[in-house]
Structure 1
Amino acid sequence: MAETSPGNGATPSRAPESAPGEPTRLLRAALHEVSTVIVGQERMVERSLIALVARGHCLIEGVPGIAKTLAVSTLAKVAGGSFSRIQFTPDLVPSDIIGTRIYRPSTEGFDVELGPVFANFVLADEINRAPAKVQSALLEVMAERQVSLGGTTHPLPSPFIVLATQNPVESEGVYPLPEAQRDRFLMKVDVRHPRAHEEMEILRRMSTDPPVAHQILDPVTLSELQADAERVHVHQLIADYVVRLVMATREPENYQMPDLGNVLEVGASPRASLGLVAAARALALLRGRDYVLPDDVRVLAHDVIAHRLVLTFDALADGVTAHQVVDRILSTVLAPRVIWDEPPSGETASFASRR
């Protein structure tokens, strides 16, 4: 996490309604270009872009036919850079995705053949169809952004993001993601069927001459946007709010929620705190601000925290979901209060503690 200013430090310089700068304009243009192909599913597209700007990975879960793969491939085309799609199947082996060493009789030596993960955008389609050994091969790729083959470390291109999809309803030939791998995803987005008016628009738009998205960004511009997001101001009270939300998943009895002790077996890891701040910064930049508000944290809390929680067997038997737990925590752990001022130099925001 980048350094945050103390509670009595400098305040942000722009209000939420301020005119968007160049980074915000580019991000909004990219979102608009994706929306020319993808009807509805605004949340999925926005979260995928936020994960990209926040240097994280995104897991998209939904039933077949709701444009998960199309949304990811379209975002990759709009953002520029290299793109690779890996269709996960039960017979996949680790070398199929990270690469392997091949013996060349002509040279009497081994050559390294790099796998399809060496791309800026990696679409791991139906990731839960591959066995644990293949899924674990992605751990180093996602966390360290490198691959070790034959005693040599090969760095992945930058920027780099894994966008994975999975089907929640099938049970045959499906291997649930281990907790360690779920924790490597910055966000997990649940996608539902489109609504009636969106379905009509899909029919109108796709049944004749399907639209094609155009490239808006490139790897260099994308790296600059990631750097812009890391410079977004995070007030000390906002950082404290993030920590309290995450700590409430581990020690609910210390946050007036003793009943959650029988619901939560394992709380969120420190990656949740880091990821929530990084994602909130990216969302603030998308919304045209150079500072984070409590609403940015609250909006993204489900996507960043829920998939990291491990519920007890009793909670699962009672039908309790991780999203319900996050709802309870958000309603109990109070956010800092935003105080808007109007000095001669323009409107600014300061924060007051509210616990």
Structure 2
Amino acid sequence: MSAGHGGITPEDLQKAKELLGTVTQVFEQRVVGQEALRTALVSSLLAGGHILLESVPGLAKTTAAETLAASVSGTFHRIQCTPDLMPNDIVGTQIYNYGTGSFTTQLGPVHANLVLLDEVNRSSAKTQSAMLEAMQERQTSIGGVEYPLPDPFMVLATQNPIEEEGTYVLPEAQMDRFLMKEVLTYPGAVHEVEILERVSSGRQSAPLTVPPISLDDVRFLQGLVDDVYVDTSIKRYIVDVINTSRFSGPRPVQGLSNHVRVGASPRGSIALMRVAQSLAIQAGRGFVIPDDIKAIRYAVLRHRIVRTFDALANNVQPEQLIDAIFDAVPTP
């Protein structure tokens, strides 16, 4: 069955519902609230992409990544990015054995199902490029030998927006390689009280009580996402949205060029479709609807629209521009 051509049975959808319900239960044992974060992480995993998380410290980014790995029985490695981190520290290296007179290969921490790249903007451009190459190629090359990365493989990169001193900001071309960018906000008062209750009672660090799903189950879910039906009218809608961000489309937004320097690339079109397919599976559907596209518009497009200097100076947020673009495009 080719991607996007349907063929999903009610039994498949029921199995997917049960598996995703298990992931949700595991997630809720460790992370309070943050439903949008859970949806974004699961959507990125099912769509086979990588995600960039942005927030101030202490909003459960690391906990969420560890919990997602635990919920799918996947291996997990955390890489703390620093200015002196080298590509070999991530990818791996060859070590000379004086006893045997030969080299042995030591694989780096990128060889895991889920990799947390903490504070990615603190590592040098060379190290960032090495990681992004591994993300794209799904393999590493050490000493001329290629080593495939595990399947499934997903990178969760984080960055702190309040400390820019001494950081290496990701270029727009590299940001575009992340399927989604999720911006986390502070929890509400009710959720923060629940966090304190869990910490004081020991529930926050208690062993997980829900059995996780398997990596084979993840691959089954990813296969379902490939088979979600996307109608031609939905694809046309996606293309119209992306073209509108480039100052064309069926109804160009007047004055958009004053705030947008570069619109979304075709990779943005693909991301909108793939994440919408993932959302459809999570909603128990075998087809994409326009509301799926609208629901993920910020996470998919906020890092793909490059703002002008005037927009930055006037603090025009990407979400405002995305809303203007979607308002201009007729919904099918």
Q: TM-score range by the shorter chain?
A: over 0.9
Matched, 1:194 2:187: yes
Q: Give the partner amino acid of 1:31.
A: T
Cα offset for 1:150?
1.9
Q: What is the number of residues matched between the two proteins? A: 328
Give the superposition deviation at 1:45: 1.1
* Structure 2: distance between partners of 1:274 and 1:212: 39
Unaligned residue ranges in structure 2 (runs of 5+): none
Displacement, 1:253? 7.2
Q: Percent identity?
A: 44
What's the TM-score, normalizing by structure 1?
0.87
Give the aligned residue type for 2:60: A
Aligned to 2:257: 261
Change (3 A) 1:269 1:215: farther
SS at match of 2:74: coil
Q: For 1:168-216, what per-residue CA distance to the aligned partner results, in whole angstroms no more than 9, with x for missing partners?
A: 1112332211222211110000001111111111111122212443442
**Is the CA contact (8 Å cut-off) linking 1:19 and 1:288 kept in structure 2?**
no
Structure 2 residue 43 is matched with structure 1 residue 65: no
CA contact 2:280–2:292 (8 Å) conserved in 1: yes
Equivalents in 2 of 1:264, 1:12: separation in Å?
40
Aligned to 1:246: 242
Other-structure match for 2:295: 299
Question: In the aligned structure 2, how far is the partner of 1:292 from the partner of 1:161?
Answer: 23
| Correspondence 1:287 to 2:294 | no
Is 1:74 aligned to 2:70, yes or no? Answer: no
Asked if 1:226 is matched to 2:222, the reply is yes
RMSD of aligned residue pairs (Cα, Å) = 2.1
1:168-187 matches, within 5 Å, as: 168-187=161-180
Match 2:311 to one of 310, 315, 319: 315
Verify: 1:37 aligned to 2:33, yes or no. Answer: no
Alpha-carbon distance between aligned partners in 1 of 2:29 and 2:248, rounded to the nearest angstrom: 44
- Give the residue type in structure 2 aligned to 1:48: L
Partners of 1:30 and 1:78 within 8 A in 2: yes
8 Å CA contact 2:54–2:158 kept in 1: the answer is yes
For 1:319-338, what aligned pairs fall within 5 Å after superposition? 319-336=315-332
Contact 1:82 1:119 (8 Å CA) reproduced: yes
Q: Matches of 2:173 and 2:76 in 1, distance apart?
A: 25
Write the mapping of 1:55-134 to structure 2, written as runs, cut at 5 A: 55-134=48-127
Worse-matched range after superposition: 160-169 or 26-35: 26-35
Residues 257-289 of structure 1: per-residue CA shift (max 9 Å, x gap):
131112111111111111111111111000100
* d(CA) in 2 for partners of 1:11, 1:82: 31
CA contact (8 A) 1:77 1:215 kept: no
Counterpart CA distance in 2 for 1:59 and 1:46 is: 14
> How many Å separate the matches in 2 of 1:215 and 1:3?
31
Contact 2:3 2:226 in 1 (8 A): no
- CA distance in structure 2 between the partners assigned to 1:31 and 1:103 by the alignment: 45
What does residue 271 of structure 1 align with?
Answer: 267
Contact 2:244 2:252 (C-alpha < 8 Å) held by counterparts: no
Give per-residue Cα distances to partners, 1:4-58, cap 9 Å, x unaligned. 56xxxx99998xxx99511122112211220122111110111101100000011
**Residue type matched to 2:49 in 1?**
G
SS of the equivalent of 1:103 reads strand
Query: Which residue in 2 is equivalent to 1:167?
Result: 160
Say whether the 8 Å CA contact 1:61–1:168 is kept in structure 2.
yes
Unaligned runs of 5+ in 1: 337-355
Q: Does the residue aligned with 1:95 lie in a helix, a strand or coil?
A: helix
Give the match for residue 155 of structure 1: 148
Q: Give secondary structure in 2 for the equivalent of 1:290.
A: coil
Cα pair distance change 1:212/1:335, threshold 3 Å = farther
Matched residue SS, 1:50: helix
Does the 8 Å contact 2:3/2:227 carry over to 1?
Answer: no
Name the CA distance, whole Å, in 2 between partners of 1:156 and 1:177.
23
| Separation in structure 1 between the aligned mates of residue 167 and residue 25 of structure 2, nearest angstrom | 35
Residue identity opposite 1:102 in structure 2? I
Cα pair 1:4 1:236 within 8 Å, conserved: no
Mapped contact 2:92–2:106 kept (Cα < 8 A): yes
Choose from 193, 203, 206 the match for 2:196: 203
Q: Does 1:54 align with 2:47?
A: yes
Structure 1 stretches of at least 4 aligned residues deviating more than 4 Å after TM superposition: 2-5, 10-14
- Counterpart AA for 1:246: I
TM-score between the two structures when normalised by the length of structure 2: 0.93
Cα drift, residue 297 of structure 1: 0.7
